[in-house]
Chain A
C-alpha cells in the first residue's frame, strides 16, 4: 500500500465532518479495506426492534465507496455521488456493522462501485449498494 493512498484515505476520514458524526472508521489489510461502523444508540431508526436506521446503513455504504475511491485515486477531491441504489436484505441490529467496496470500474470521469454491508456473518449481508460517482480530477 502506497503512503500517498493511505494519506488520501486518512484525509478523507478526518476531514469529512459527517464521517465523524456517524463514527465510521476503516481497517486496512494491505490494499483491502473494511469499513467499520461501531454501534451507537444515535444510529437507531426503530427503537422497538431495535434496528439501525435504513438511512444510516445507506450512508455508511456510500461513505465506504468514497473511502475506497480515495485509496485508489489519491490526491483528488472527494468524488461527487451521482446516484445510488440501496437494497435492504435484513434488518440492521444494534451492533457493529462492516462494509467492503468493489470498484467495478474506475473511469476518467465516472466510477461504478458496489458495496456490501454485514454484521454477524459476511455470508449474510444486511444490505447492498450500487453507485455511480463523478471523479473530479479534471476540476481545479
Chain B
C-alpha cells in the first residue's frame, strides 16, 4: 500500500480497504465538493424484511465523501481526522437500491473543516439522509505526501 501516499486523490479515495469492500465508486469531484456512490448488495442489507440497504452503509459513504470534499478543498494531501458527524435519516432508501452522497466542504479554517452532505437513492432532490460534520485538519498523524 505504499502507493497510497502518492496516488492522486480520486484514486486514493477508492484504495481504502473499506471503500473497496463496500464497492464505493467516485461519481464526480471538484474543489470543495465530491460525489460518491455505494451500490446495493445483498450482504449490505440492514432490514431483511424489505431488502433496504443498512443505514451503516450510508454512514460510511457519507463519512468517506466528506473526507473527499475536505481533501479536494485543501488542494493538497494532508491528514485529517473526523471530530463529529451527525446524520439525519430522513427515510429508508428504496428496497434493493444503492445510495449516492454529495459532500460540500463549505468552510475551512487553518485547523478545522466544516462539511455538509446529502444522500439520495434515485432522485437527487428526494433525499434519504442529510449530514453535518467537522474535521480537524493537518493532524499530527503520520503526514501523507502528495
Contact = CB atoms under 8 A, between A and B. Distances in A.
Interface residues of B, number: 41
A16 B49 CA distance: 9
Interface residues of A, number: 38
Contact of A54 (B15, B45, B49, B85): B85
Contact of B83 (A15, A80, A83, A88): A88
A21 B38 CA distance: 15
Contacts, number: 126
B17 A55 contact: no
Contact of A47 (B17, B44, B48, B85): B17
A137 interface: no
B83 A16 contact: no
B18 A42 contact: yes
B144 A44 contact: no
Contacts of A49: 141-142
Contact of B82 (A43, A82, A83, A88): A88
Nearest 6 A/B pairs, CB to CB: A55-B60, A59-B56, A18-B54, A53-B18, A55-B63, A42-B21
